[in-house]
Structure 1
Amino acid sequence: MITQGIVTGGPSLSIPAHLSFGQYVIDRLRSFCETNKDCLINYETGNKVTSKEFLKDIVSIATGLRKLQLKRGNTIGIFSENRNEYLAAVLGAVCCGATVTTINAIYKPDELKHALSIANPTVMFCSQSTLKNNLRVLKATPSIKTIIQFDGTPTETGIIRYKKIKMDANIWEFEPADVQQGSSDTLFLQYSSGTTGLSKAVMLTHLNVLYAVACFDYGYIRECCSRILIAMPWSHIYGLAVTIHLLTCNKLVVYLPKFSSDRYFDAIQKYKIEALYTVPPILVIISKLPIVSQWDLSSIKRISCGAAPLSAETTQSVLERLPNCTGIIQGYGMTELSLGAIKCTDDLNSVNKPGSCGRPVPGVKIKVVNIETREILGPYMEGEICIKGPLVMKGYAGNATATKEIMDNEGYLKTGDIGYYDDDGYFFIVDRLKELIKYKGNQVAPAAIESTLLQHSCVADCGVVGAPDEAAGELPTAFIVLKPNVKPNKEDILQFTEQKLSPVSRLRGGIIFTNEIPKNPSGKILRRVLKQRLSQIK
């Protein structure tokens, strides 16, 4: 419905707002756990978990954490690759009433230190590999009292093995901790760069996440698909929320700890996957690479795609290569929106439009405003997309200024994305006002890369932007001003940054030496000018 330039998704969904998210998950799993069928498979190891085993793992780890005095008001951190224990640790902590912060396993020490300084966790769950590379940072964090290692031999004395934390408990008698206010108690701290700058910790409440999972039933995979493949990291709200929702719907989730095209396609063939939750770069591979024909992908019925725009051309090409796939469902969201606020519908009788990310989900209001005047715009007029509703985050942890800046005076969240809607209320994303670079669905903050570059002894100034790339979305590219009398050496600078930046933040678009970095009077880098220069060079 469109009224005076406001596009709405209709009445709000009815959700169990009186419940904690932990109670919601436990209740859902109890309703079908006696079937005891496989619910989670690690493609890499072949390790399987049944629904009853999964519920027992959650209850066991929650009971063990309670013995460690974990309770409401505490924060625990998860710093690991995707693995079966990951989800049980997350939900076990949630059942204790704690806040959970999930940290990307590819973070370098400086990035990890920044995330921990915001979250201040008391307990950390880590894998053997993340501990080996980051133990010094973890031990130097004052808030951390306990480190629990998922796999292998404890890296150091004092680190507790995951299995030692688990305690026997009755899955039918266990009671998750209550929360005082589902709309104010923070459930997840998820890292996002918002519209600019270094990463911020997004506070998502129990109500935010309960509403987000309710929205999955509106416009996503339904009864037609029972075997789903996930390749997104659970440190990101997209991968985490999707996987938890599917497990509470009695689906089988096959996941990849780390993406590779061969493993991805083999998993589809081996487990006869019916639905994919994925990102545009993977669909670009399906649409273009000849090797796709080596695998039997005929089992795929539906695809859900998010995290970045998907072109109409790629959509059409994928559907031509997957003749049994009845549609690709797109959505739009961001961490600050508890995942997705705009979605295409899963109803085969509806009209989904190529290139569109869909219409607002129920309970959500959206307006498009002029970037300069903030005037509300009508259909087909491009402006900044602003969103209001129960999916909007509580705010940024410890950063009231950033929270205030991202909200307008009517309570709408300013997404920083430029787009428009048509007469039917379908939205189209055309550009980004915000400075973030989207590399393979990951948010990359130029400021973080610039901060690293400025540590190099030869760099006087720099500016980072994204170079358009069909497969990856954007490639981080640096314009660099060298110090006087210094000879250009791209290889040395690239090697320096690769040692300090996570893989998604590396300068895959290369380095361009320049005499100056364009800035406005206040010193802010004019990235649009750099992008214009980049397009001319390319």
Structure 2
Amino acid sequence: MIIRSPFPDIDIPDVTLTELLFSGEPSGAPALIDPEGRITTRRELDESVRRIAAGLHGRGIGRGSVVGLFAPNSPEWVAAFHGILRANAVVTSANVLYTADELAHQLADSGARLLVTTADLLDVAETAAAKAGIEEVLTLDDAPGRPRLDTLPGGEPPPLVTGPGDIAVLPYSSGTTGRAKGVVLTHRNLVANVLQFSRMGRTAPSTVLLAVLPLFHIYGMTVLMNHALHQRVPLVTMPRFDLAGMLRLIERHRVTKLYLAPPTALLLAKSPLVDGADLSSVELVFSGAAPLDGELARAVANRLDCKILQGYGMTEMSPVSHAIPEDRPDIDPASVGYALPNVECRLVDSAGRDADRGELWVRGPNVMTGYLNNPAATAATLDADGWLHTGDIATVTADGVFTIVDRVKELIKYKGYQVPPAELEALLLTHEGIDDAAVVGVPDEEGEEIPKAFVVRRPGARLDAAEVMGYVAARVSPHKKVRRVEFLDSIPKSASGKILRAVLRRRPAMQEVPSGTQPGPPGWARS
């Protein structure tokens, strides 16, 4: 049975994201505010976008060219992103915590011709660019020997020749399993999702948003950056997350809405720093990227005296498919609310039949066209009828409120970010003291899902948990670290050799090393 959104379909204009967000005469109203209070007006942003587009065009960047963007949140990041699109090119945005090897994989796989970064990240960027065969690295700020993106010679930007069906962005996602893949999102996908989400997230002249989320992540890209630009409300940028800094920015700029992930909600519910902060301007907290516990949601709402809502999505859906509308705070915050306008859903059981509880399938104009150069992965996730198989188990009420209750996919979601077990298992097996390994997600003391490794030592190897965790930590981004280790005599597998992850998840905790102090949301501060 197809379950449709209770909201009427909205008209999705046949335009590019650039045309949607930058049409008309730009005003002198604030568009972006940096942590020091520097304001970028709509007019100044428009001028920067056009200048960057002209400079890139002069470098031979045009329709179909892919440009890597490897930098923390800033007004310059926003200008670079939209300047690349205005040059008729494609953005592939990368996690600022990536190692050189991780970044090189994304750059090579996406076919990036050029990389944009900052002086602080230049060492990693240059190493990755060299590995990926990219000759030119540009910066958003001053760096010796490197040209700045916004000072490239150019003149007038090129004609806008991209269309709604052209690729706009290539974010990388592990999907339901495996190594990160390029998610092909068109201008139409992004335009649709901005407009779909706007039905759920109303704004007013007094609205101020804070970029707590990294803009390289599709959640921050759509729900914060593009939503703010479309609604003509100011966005305050944070280059990296820290709770005290977030609280100061909320106070200083009278932020009204916080879009965040559950780990930040946990800090708002429990940190003593919140007691000394004036958060009276906050009207709404919206959580996404990972499931939010209902009790935690209510604790945040009570402490901040605000509404708290939840949504659901995937990179493959641009990313939002479900959300609790702002005018429905009566809906259980543990649910993910209604399907967005123009979205259809099915709940399908393991036999492929429609069910009251089953895997959530989604179809709509915001759903990706596929994974880049990976037809097998595309076919495994997106069927011939356009249904995206999310890998998440959901239920739905009679009036259309969805709740995510389980996961059929193997992917671990640590603090809202994806950790593919297969990648960590492959890395563990490169250690000379490890014979076999499996990785699953398990809850920590706060209920957060963390990667746990089950390891079979090579005969005669003197290997402890600390060495295992250190070996992985030195080779991956912080959010991919192994944070529990248990040694086994063998890894349980099926007759076909598939790891029996469900058996491992059910094991009682033993021989574990605690994860210790947990870092803030990934994409911000190393741990």
1:223 partnered with 2:221: no
What letter corresponds to residue 189 of structure 1 in structure 2? L
Secondary structure of the corresponding residue to residue 517 of structure 1? coil
Give the C-alpha shift of residue 408 in structure 1.
3.3
| Aligned with 1:469 (options 422, 444, 452) | 444
Partner Cα separation in structure 2 for residue 453 and residue 490 of structure 1: 12
Assess if the C-alpha contact under 8 Å between 1:367 and 1:386 holds in 2: yes
Q: 1:535 to 1:345 in 2, by over 3 A?
A: farther
Aligned to 2:173: 192
Partner Cα separation in structure 2 for residue 450 and residue 194 of structure 1: 17
Partner Cα separation in structure 1 for residue 140 and residue 72 of structure 2: 10
Alignment of 1:156-175 (within 5 A): 157=145, 159-165=146-152, 167=154, 169=156
Q: 1:536 to 1:485 in 2, by over 3 A?
A: closer
| Aligned with 1:15 (options 12, 17, 36) | 12
1:137 partnered with 2:118: no
Q: What do the CA deviations read for 1:89-121 (whole angstroms, capped 9, x no partner)?
A: 111110121111101111112211221221011
Assess if the C-alpha contact under 8 Å between 2:57 and 2:158 holds in 1: no
Assess if the C-alpha contact under 8 Å between 1:407 and 1:413 holds in 2: yes
Secondary structure of the corresponding residue to residue 204 of structure 2? coil
Assess if the C-alpha contact under 8 Å between 2:381 and 2:388 holds in 1: yes
Aligned to 1:423: 398
| Aligned with 1:385 (options 349, 353, 360) | 360
What letter corresponds to residue 196 of structure 2 in structure 1? C
What letter corresponds to residue 59 of structure 1 in structure 2? R
| Aligned with 2:317 (options 337, 340, 343) | 337
Partner Cα separation in structure 2 for residue 9 and residue 208 of structure 1: 21
1:354 partnered with 2:336: no
Assess if the C-alpha contact under 8 Å between 1:22 and 1:95 holds in 2: yes
Give the C-alpha shift of residue 472 in structure 1.
6.9
Give the C-alpha shift of residue 136 in structure 1.
2.3
Give the C-alpha shift of residue 82 in structure 1.
1.4
Aligned to 2:188: 207
1:301 partnered with 2:261: no
Aligned to 2:141: 151
1:38 partnered with 2:30: yes
Give the C-alpha shift of residue 141 in structure 1.
1.8
Partner Cα separation in structure 2 for residue 215 and residue 451 of structure 1: 39
Partner Cα separation in structure 2 for residue 485 and residue 536 of structure 1: 22
Alignment of 1:45-56 (within 5 A): 45-56=36-47
| Aligned with 2:86 (options 63, 72, 95) | 95
What letter corresponds to residue 149 of structure 2 in structure 1? Y
What letter corresponds to residue 506 of structure 1 in structure 2? K
Give the C-alpha shift of residue 310 in structure 1.
1.1
Partner Cα separation in structure 2 for residue 38 and residue 256 of structure 1: 16
1:364 partnered with 2:343: yes
Aligned to 1:516: 490
Runs of at least 4 residues off by over 6 Å: none
Partner Cα separation in structure 2 for residue 530 and residue 332 of structure 1: 27
Partner Cα separation in structure 2 for residue 225 and residue 462 of structure 1: 53
Partner Cα separation in structure 2 for residue 141 and residue 395 of structure 1: 23
Alignment of 1:386-465 (within 5 A): 386-465=361-440
Give the C-alpha shift of residue 167 in structure 1.
4.6
What letter corresponds to residue 12 of structure 1 in structure 2? D
Secondary structure of the corresponding residue to residue 160 of structure 1? coil
What letter corresponds to residue 314 of structure 2 in structure 1? M
1:178 partnered with 2:153: no
What letter corresponds to residue 358 of structure 1 in structure 2? G
Q: 1:20 to 1:7 in 2, by over 3 A?
A: closer
Aligned to 1:24: 20
RMSD value over aligned CA atoms?
1.9
Q: 1:208 to 1:479 in 2, by over 3 A?
A: same
Assess if the C-alpha contact under 8 Å between 2:174 and 2:420 holds in 1: yes
Q: What do the CA deviations read for 1:187-244 (whole angstroms, capped 9, x no partner)?
A: 1101110110110110001110000000121111422752111111111111111212
Secondary structure of the corresponding residue to residue 132 of structure 2? coil
Give the C-alpha shift of residue 175 in structure 1.
6.7
Assess if the C-alpha contact under 8 Å between 1:10 and 1:362 holds in 2: yes
What letter corresponds to residue 492 of structure 2 in structure 1? P
Partner Cα separation in structure 2 for residue 278 and residue 71 of structure 1: 34
1:80 partnered with 2:71: yes
Q: What TM-score does the superposition give when structure 1 sets the normalisation length?
A: 0.91
Partner Cα separation in structure 2 for residue 422 and residue 249 of structure 1: 31
Structure 1 residue runs of 5 or longer lacking an equivalent are none
| Aligned with 1:282 (options 261, 264, 286) | 264
Partner Cα separation in structure 2 for residue 224 and residue 276 of structure 1: 16
What letter corresponds to residue 387 of structure 1 in structure 2? V
Assess if the C-alpha contact under 8 Å between 2:218 and 2:319 holds in 1: yes
Assess if the C-alpha contact under 8 Å between 2:414 and 2:479 holds in 1: yes
Partner Cα separation in structure 2 for residue 534 and residue 204 of structure 1: 42
Q: What do the CA deviations read for 1:46-82 (whole angstroms, capped 9, x no partner)?
A: 4432221111111111111111121111111101111
Secondary structure of the corresponding residue to residue 193 of structure 2? helix
Structure 2 residue runs of 5 or longer lacking an equivalent are 513-527
Aligned to 2:352: 374
Assess if the C-alpha contact under 8 Å between 1:480 and 1:513 holds in 2: yes
Secondary structure of the corresponding residue to residue 507 of structure 2? helix
Give the C-alpha shift of residue 502 in structure 1.
0.2
1:264 partnered with 2:243: no
Give the C-alpha shift of residue 133 in structure 1.
2.4
Q: 1:199 to 1:38 in 2, by over 3 A?
A: same
Secondary structure of the corresponding residue to residue 51 of structure 2? helix
Partner Cα separation in structure 1 for residue 365 and residue 323 of structure 2: 15
| Aligned with 1:483 (options 458, 471, 474) | 458
Partner Cα separation in structure 1 for residue 19 and residue 158 of structure 2: 8
Q: What do the CA deviations read for 1:285-318 (whole angstroms, capped 9, x no partner)?
A: 1112233101111110112211111111111111
Partner Cα separation in structure 2 for residue 418 and residue 309 of structure 1: 12
Partner Cα separation in structure 1 for residue 479 and residue 508 of structure 2: 20
Partner Cα separation in structure 2 for residue 9 and residue 410 of structure 1: 22
Give the C-alpha shift of residue 165 in structure 1.
1.5
